Structure 1
């Protein structure tokens, strides 16, 4: 194996681990919002994830 091939192999392994970690982070966030606590994406629910920010904002959003 040449030096260039070895360098590309190391880079590929590093990128693969980075992609795995990023995928795990996105899966964890999505599963928390949509599987474990499905009321979070509902803006009219009191447990909405941005409810505190929405109530403190100047000219807050109105949900009907």
Structure 2
């Protein structure tokens, strides 16, 4: 059980892909789609927000607008 959706960001699984590389090659991918917004951007976004909060640039009640 998580206290916040933020706690679920990161720690995504690393998965071995068996059919896309020659037999002697072990290919692994990071499954970022397992993040809450199914995006690789989740890690970056939380890092930027937490840093802005730490610096005092972002305070409770303010709005964050994401451009994509």
- Given the two structures, how large is their TM-score scaled by the length of structure 2? 0.31
Higher fraction of strand: 2
Which structure exhibits the higher relative contact order, with contacts defined as CA atoms closer than 8 Å and separated by 6 or more residues? 2
Higher fraction of helix: 1
- Given the two structures, how large is their TM-score scaled by the length of structure 1? 0.32
